Each structure stands twice: as structure tokens, then as C-alpha cells.
Amino acid sequence: MLNQQTIEKLHAMKLHGIADAFRAQLETTEASLLSFEERFALLVDQQWLWKENRALARRLRAAHLKERGVVEDVDYQHPRGLDRKLVRTLCSSDWVRQHQSILLLGPTGIGKSWLACALAQKACRDGFSVLHKRTSELFRELAVAHADGSIGRFLVRLSRIDILLLDDFAMAPLKDAERRDFLEICDDRYQRRSLILTSQMPVAHWHEQIGDPSIADSILDRLIHNAYRIELKGESMRKKRRKPGEEDPQ
């Protein structure tokens, strides 16, 4: 009875990890062989792990990653020019700590979005916040924010996210409001936060897609000179045969 009351109090104090670990200790004879200090350390470790797992789950939900990529499953066998050493370097998430960006370029189906999500998911595991959107989706939301007067709050919220992952950048010419908003986003993030951009369009064509020469110069100056550039090539990976129910190999 006393033990059950203790467990209920632990849950009431939201010490769910300790409560679960304490219950597990009561159910095993091995725990009685440990010293008080060892048993207490195990309880604290379990609470710490519980909190870390909860925080990670929140970050992953908030990220809205559109692909279930993980860096451990990156396919280096498909001939697409992917540098294993560079990917392993990026897996450390030091590029996020140093407020750098990643540009993933290549034809459709080559695995750009999957790889971007895998690196973003690893950054989530390392404690960083992420938000994944298609570039067209972001521009629609910016237009709505302008219309309802919430643009200031919207941009501030974006600026606080460690990694903004944008798919299909520069696929269509930018409108005046879009390029001005994107310049402000780049300004807010330059040397403060990180970006991941995926695009089928070569960087050499981004200037004309952005449009206004002075704004294009400003955007590209902030993007290119502080970013890792990964240029993929080859046939679509979606053509690889897969079993029913499996995701596209990456």
C-alpha cells in the first residue's frame, strides 16, 4: 500500500519516469542487491530519459517532417554522387551549432527531400527545433499573414526555429512580395539560424528565378557563402524495385 501511494505521488508530481522505474525495481529481485545510491541513480536516469524522449517527441511533432528519413538508412550504393564523408560530418549537427545551411540540389526522385528530412531528424535528436514546409506552402502562409496583419508575429516565430527546411525552392519565379519576405527570412537567419533548401533548379538559375537583381544578390549572398552544397545526379531512385508497403529507398 505504501509503495502504491508513493507511485501515485510521483505521478502527481509528474515524475513519471521515476514512477515507472520504481515500479520496475519493485518487480525485480535484482534491484534488492543494489545499494541505495545505485538504485537512486537508476531512478534519476530513467526520469532523465523519460524527459528527453518526451522533448524529442514534441520537437518531431512540431517539425512536420514530410519524409520518415533517418541518417542511419542513407543509401550510398545508388550512383548519385553522394559524399559519405560529408554526410557523416553533417550528422554531427555542428552545422546547426555554427548557423550554417545546406543546399540539396538534383533532379526529381533522387532523394533530396528524404535526405533533408534525415538530417533534420538527426538535428531534432540532438536537441534542435525544425520546421519543414514546401516553399509554395510557406509563401501562401506569408500572404495570409500579410492579409490578416499577423506577419510580424509569423516572421518572429520563424526566426526562433533552429532549422527551417524548405522544399522545391526556386521552382517558379518569385513574386515581389515573396522575394522581399524571403530576403527578410534570410536576414533573420544569417549567422543566427540554419536553412535547408532542396531544389531541382541549379543554383546558377536562382538569380533569375528570384527576379529583382539587387534582392537576388542579397539573398544569394546570405545563402550560398555559408552553406554546404550537395549536388545529386543520376536516375530517379523511385525506379528501384521495392516490396509492397515499403517506402522509396534512399
Q: pLDDT tens, 191-205?
A: 999 999 999 999 999
- pLDDT interval class at 97 (50, 70, 90): very high
Nine-digit cell string for 130: 525544425
* pLDDT at res. 35: 85
Residue 196 three-state SS: strand
Q: Are 31 and 39 in contact (CB under 8 A)?
A: yes
In the numeric block, the cell 522509396 is attached to 248
Residue 67 is classified by DSSP as S
- pLDDT interval class at 81 (50, 70, 90): very high
Bridge partners of 163, per DSSP, are: 130, 194
* pLDDT at res. 128: 98
* pLDDT at res. 241: 45
CA distance 185 to 124: 21
pLDDT digits (tens, 9 = 90+) for 5-14: 888 877 888 7
Main-chain phi, psi angles of 114, to 5 degrees: -60, -45
Q: Are 250 and 73 in contact (CB under 8 A)?
A: yes
CA distance 115 to 90: 11
CA distance 17 to 11: 9
Own/partner contacts of 88-93, CB < 8 Å, gap of 24 or more, are: 90/119, 90/228, 91/119, 91/122, 93/122, 93/123, 93/126, 93/128
Average pLDDT, the chain: 91
Residue by residue, what is the 3-state secondary structure of 129-145? CEEEEEHHHHHHHHHHH
Name the pTM for this structure: 0.84
- pLDDT interval class at 89 (50, 70, 90): very high
- Domains of the chain, earliest start first: 2-62 (no CATH), 64-237 (3.40.50.300)
Report the pLDDT averaged over residues 89-114. Answer: 97
